[in-house]
Structure 1
Amino acid sequence: MGNFRFGKRGLLLCLGLLFNLSLAAQEFPSKVVTFTVPYPAGGGTDIVARTLGEQMAKQLGQPVVIDNKPGAGGILGTSAVAKAPADGHTVLVGLTQSVLTNRFLYAKLPYDPRKDFAFVSLIATAPLLLMVPANSPVQNLADLSRMLKASKAAASCGSWGAGSYPHLACAHMASSLKTEITHVPYKGEAVMLQDLVGGQLTFAVASLVSAKPYMDGGRLRAIAVSGDQRVSVLASVPTFAEGGMPDAEYRVTGWIALLVPIATPRVVVNRLQQVAQQAVNSPELKKRFEALGMVGVGNTPDQFRQRYAEDWPVWERLVKVSGAKLD
């Protein structure tokens, strides 16, 4: 009899929980949804967030507003979301840096990306191009490898700052080829690409959106693209793996993703993911991604978490080899 009473009580508790979860899903969102962007307005992340928010608002039935909280390499805004109410109404539009590489670049963070966030969806990836001046004798990665091995520290590569993927990729290349490459950090891509055109750099890793005008003008040449697949708008440019550099360090890409506080109910997380996926497949987002040189994804929370777990050790190695620290 006692076991029966326990079972009945357990059943009632389960039914109550299911009811509450169903109610949470039906009521969400009950107010404005805030997308927190931990970077300044006007950048690529902000542009994607605004277009994504516009599309998701149509399905959610509530406005989606953008709250830019820049500062400390994305730490300020990311930390704010980690501490926000876990009801799905505050969503982080995070980058690889803010929720992954910062873990290795900073000795202390006010949040733990693996413990403080629930993963909603990977929205888009951002492959990068390895660029050389148009008049460079380097035509492919094999040529570059030979040049770097023979250069004896005469080669240089540019990046948009210490700890950025271009910096980390340059450091990994120097390590794997057992040569020296001088890293030249810039405060942005524009000046870096101008110096590359002018021959002040041997090569540089750059975003498609910034590099393509120089390619179209015949001043720069792309010899490889990061990630696992070629970019549709530059189908003739091989991946690093296709060019003879299959290291996982060249297969990772930067990404933009949605995350929420860890205690957010799974039904709310799923609702956000489903709406985000619909938005990613919309003509508006596809056009925006193409313009920014990104590839739309819109995967599930479990798929996103798996990708994150796979990326974690690769970025850890990249940062360690580079010696980059941003404290």
Structure 2
Amino acid sequence: MPLAAFASRRYSVLALSALACSMALPALAQNYPARPIKLIVPFQAGGATDVLARLIGKKLGASLGQPVIVDNKPGAAGIIGTDAVAKAAPDGYTLTLSLSNALLTNQFLYEKLPYHPERDLTPVYQIAMAPLVLVVNPSLPVKTAPELLKYAAANKDKLAYGSYGLGAYPHLAGAHMSTAQNADMSHVAYKGEAPMLQDLLSGQIQLAFASALVAKPHIEAGKLRALGVSGERRMSALPQVPTLIEQGLNDDTYRLTGWLAIAAPAKTPPAIVNRIADEVRKAVQLPEVNQRIAGMGFEPLNNSSPEVFAQAFRKDRPAWERLIKQSGVKLD
């Protein structure tokens, strides 16, 4: 066969194959889902992420006509479960509902992450923001965030702040605050938020960033003093507490918040990704779901999408990278 004819025939075969694939994708999406969907939560059962996954999963199952099975795969700061999703078939039957640490910040913290969030995962829907409240022990003579900064600078090496893990936002934000004020504050890392709050209440540490869900009862009882919240808007759970930005703390550090979101393996067909996102949006917009999310101390996002999520990811990425590099934290 002449080379030109062979090349022409080969091109035709490739073109037909591409056409067949492009026709198959809409059909695949149209028939989706044809079997149960696995929603992997890379954290322990019973936590806020797990509760939210089961709430959203139940609504998705009803709207999609197939069960959504929540599968907890905890361990290594969300790495184990997230890696399982990153390596799953990109067919829409394996998803993750996870936190921003596993989907974004772990890539800057860990030397040997087995997946790359931006290469191996595709964004589906950002469900809620997870701002934190800066709280202090009432024995500290400060009532606003600027007053705390001045006090920390004037009392070098005398304050301690808590976190629920190296590289978590409470650690990074506290380290930034200490560095910016040249305050030499001590960092105390705890195995969870509950023991951190216990030591804050007893005065073993003086300040911390905490979730509204855990801190609110103590704030209302006068056992903790709320100075401000992270993020760009006030928490619906603590509407009387101003943001740190409102108080003049304009660094990117105080604009950042964690978030909860759904992601799928990379190369999942866009039609399927959009179908899932549409159904998640409908679920989040339900009054009972919206209220439940807000009641957990999160800020529900009623109009996210794959594109909106990806844009928010790109916006936050450099700020998180700078913050983690500034802290000097590197984990194995």
How high is the TM-score relative to the length of structure 1?
Answer: 0.94
- Counterpart in the other structure of 1:317: 322
Query: Which residue of 1 is the match for residue 33 of structure 2?
Result: 29
Q: Distance in 2 between matches of 1:191 and 1:16?
A: 58
**Partners of 1:172 and 1:158 in 2: CA distance:** 13
Q: 1:112 aligns with which of 104, 109, 116?
A: 116
CA distance in 2, matches of 1:211, 1:168: 19
Structure 2 counterpart SS, 1:114: helix
- Residues 87-131 of structure 1: per-residue CA shift (max 9 Å, x gap): 001001121111111111110111110100111010111110000
In 2, Cα distance between the equivalents of 1:69 and 1:191?
24
Tell me the distance in 2 between the aligned counterparts of 1:265 and 1:31.
17
Query: In the TM superposition, what are the counterparts of 1:170-209 in structure 2 within 5 Å?
Result: 170-209=174-213
In structure 1, how many angstroms separate the alpha carbons of the residues matched to 2:330 and 2:114? 16
Residue deviations 1:277-305 (CA, integer Å, cap 9, x gap): 01111123212212210011151111111
Distance in 1 separating the partners of 2:330 and 2:292: 33
Give 1:162's aligned amino acid.
L
Identify if the C-alpha distance between structure 1 residues 167 and 16 changes in structure 2 by more than 3 Å, giving closer, same or farther: same
Question: 1:175 touches 1:321 (CA, 8 Å); kept in 2?
Answer: no
1:304 partnered with 2:300: no
Cα deviation, 1:176-215, whole Å, max 9, x if unaligned, reads 2222111111112222112212222221110000001101
Task: Give the SS at the match of 2:117.
Answer: coil
In 2, distance between residues paired with 1:76 and 1:306?
26
Pairwise CA distance, 1:19: 3.1
1:141 matched to 2:145? The reply is yes
Partner of 1:65: 69
Pick the aligned partner of 1:95 from 81, 86, 99.
99
Give 3-state SS (helix, strand or coil) of 1:92's partner.
Answer: strand
Distance in 2 (CA, whole Å) between partners of 1:160 and 1:16 is 51
Deviations 1:130-172 (A, max 9, x none): 0012343210011101101101111111111211110000111
CA distance in structure 2 between the aligned counterparts of 1:287 and 1:212, rounded to whole angstroms: 17
Q: Which residue of 2 aligns with 1:125?
A: 129
2:238 alignment partner, one of 219, 226, 234? 234
3-state DSSP class of the match of 1:147?
A: helix
1:24–1:141 CA distance, 2 compared to 1 (3 A): same
SS at match of 2:142: coil
Please give the secondary structure, in 2, of the residue aligned with 1:179.
Answer: coil
Q: Distance in 2 between matches of 1:75 and 1:60?
A: 28
Give 1:150-189 correspondences, 5 Å limit.
150-189=154-193
> Is 1:51–1:284's contact at 8 Å kept on the other side of the alignment?
no
The alpha-carbon deviation at position 271 of structure 1 amounts to 0.2
Identity of aligned residues (%): 46
Quote the RMSD (CA, aligned, Å). 2.0
Count of matched residue pairs: 324
Match of 1:258 in 2: 262
> How far does the alpha carbon of each residue in 1:300-326 deviate from its partner, in whole angstroms, 9 at most, with x for none?
111111111111111111111212222
Specify the code of the residue in structure 1 equivalent to 2:161.
C
State the alpha-carbon separation in 2 of the partners of residues 300 and 12 from structure 1: 32
Question: How far 1:11 sits from its partner (Å)?
Answer: 9.4
Q: 2:49 matched to 1:45?
A: yes
Aligned to 1:294: 298
Matched to 1:218, the amino acid is G
Partner of 1:284: 288
Aligned residues of 2:42 and 2:72 also touching (Cα < 8 A): yes
The more displaced of 13-22 and 83-92 is 13-22
| Greater shift in the superposed pair: 317-326 or 249-258 | 317-326
Task: Return the alpha-carbon distance in structure 2 between the equivalents of residues 233 and 125 of structure 1.
Answer: 13
SS in structure 2 of the partner of residue 80 of structure 1: helix
Deviation at 1:22, TM superposition (A): 2.0
Partner of 1:79: 83
Runs of 4+ in structure 1 over 6 Å off: 8-15
Which range moves more in the overlay, 78-87 or 282-291?
282-291
Unaligned runs of 5+ in 2: none
